[in-house]
């Protein structure tokens, strides 16, 4: 089945803040450049990138820098949009569109769970406002509703420029249906990518892409080559290393997604502060160092 968007590994670029919640521009640019050494599909402002917390003026500033760094023919950047308001979603897309972006990642408004009719209205209103742009749906429980294959079949029939999903929680059966019954490109997590690739073309949303670049690339290529047994083994290696890295965080206060991702980026060698935008807490350096120590003690072979 021909997909609406190319298969790839998608990685997030987190935004570094100082203690006054101001952008550390040099670190942000260094992170983007480092990511582009391994990957050519990058995005900003998912949940991990604190897209929910960004004012419009700060959004424009950061999107402008992201454009400067990724404006290359071999790089395919994506801008994430998270908001309570359809109007503000459109306004932010328009700002990034004017700067030059044409691919966007959108989440459904989380204030109230959308009905079938309401989610159709949302996708039509947002995607229909930019007919020459492409959209990927960030399908996550925080929105109050996780869409499934039957939902996407309805949407793809009515919204031609919805080209993909980011769906890291899909189980094995749902992965099969997504891949075989829709023309959308589905970005799955490292641990459910093998389930999708078993049935056809799909992609990886690499939450640990900056820390385990060689293994993530290997996993992606094995899935594309149809070497599924090997792909399952590599996915298991990544999953075990993830669990080891995050083990020191278990049992404490649960943190927002970006707090974990900033530790991952910092562990990859980028001078990423652990500071989060108000009101969310980041992890302290003691926890971060415990995570790194745990990983090095058991999975040194993954760090390359």
Helix (H) or strand (E) run with residue 105 in it: strand 103-106
What is the mean pLDDT of the segment spanning 231-247? Answer: 96
What is the mean pLDDT of the segment spanning 173-199? Answer: 97
Q: How confident is the model over 257-292, as pLDDT tens digits? A: 999 999 999 999 999 999 999 999 999 999 999 999
Domains of the chain, residue spans: 9-226
What's the pTM? 0.96
For the chain, what is the mean pLDDT? Answer: 96
Q: What's the start-to-end Cα distance of the chain, in Å?
A: 35
User: Would you say residue 302 has pLDDT above 80?
Assistant: no
CATH number, domain 9-226, options 3.40.50.300, 3.40.50.1980, 3.20.20.70, 3.40.50.150 = 3.20.20.70
Please tell me the total number of residues recorded for the chain in this structure.
304
Residue 165 Cα distances to 3, 50, 84, 188, 281, angstroms? 12, 19, 19, 8, 29
Which tokens go with 218? 């290997």
Q: How confident is the model over 43-81, as pLDDT tens digits? A: 999 988 999 999 999 999 999 999 999 999 999 999 999
Check residue 304 and give its pLDDT: 63
């Amino acid at each position: 089945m021909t997909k609406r968007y190319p298969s790839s590994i998608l990685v997030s670029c987190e935004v570094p803040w100082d203690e006054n919640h101001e952008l550390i521009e040099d670190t942000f640019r260094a992170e983007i450049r480092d990511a582009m050494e391994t990957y050519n599909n990058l995005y900003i402002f998912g949940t991990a990138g604190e897209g929910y917390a960004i004012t419009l003026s700060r959004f424009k500033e950061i999107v402008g820098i992201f454009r400067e760094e990724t404006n290359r023919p071999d790089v395919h950047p994506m801008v994430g949009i998270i908001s309570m308001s359809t109007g503000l979603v459109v306004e932010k897309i328009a700002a990034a569109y004017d700067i030059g972006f044409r691919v966007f990642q959108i989440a459904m408004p989380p204030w109230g769970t959308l009905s079938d009719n309401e989610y159709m209205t949302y996708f039509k209103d947002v995607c229909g406002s930019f007919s020459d742009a492409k959209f990927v749906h960030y399908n996550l429980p925080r929105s109050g509703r996780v869409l499934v294959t039957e939902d996407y079949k309805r949407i793809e029939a009515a919204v031609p420029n919805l080209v993909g999903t980011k769906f890291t929680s899909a189980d094995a059966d749902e992965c099969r249906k997504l891949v075989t019954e829709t023309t959308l490109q589905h970005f799955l997590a490292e641990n459910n990518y093998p389930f999708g690739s078993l049935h056809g073309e799909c992609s990886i949303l690499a939450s640990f892409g900056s820390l385990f670049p060689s293994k993530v690339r290997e996993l992606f290529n094995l899935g594309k080559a149809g070497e599924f047994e090997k792909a399952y083994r590599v996915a298991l290696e990544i999953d075990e290393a993830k669990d080891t890295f995050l083990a020191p965080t278990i049992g404490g206060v649960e943190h927002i997604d970006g707090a974990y991702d900033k530790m991952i980026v910092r562990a990859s060698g980028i001078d990423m502060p652990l500071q989060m935008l108000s009101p969310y807490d980041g992890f302290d350096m003691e926890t971060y160092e415990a995570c790194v120590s745990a990983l090095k003690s058991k999975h040194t072979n993954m760090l390359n």
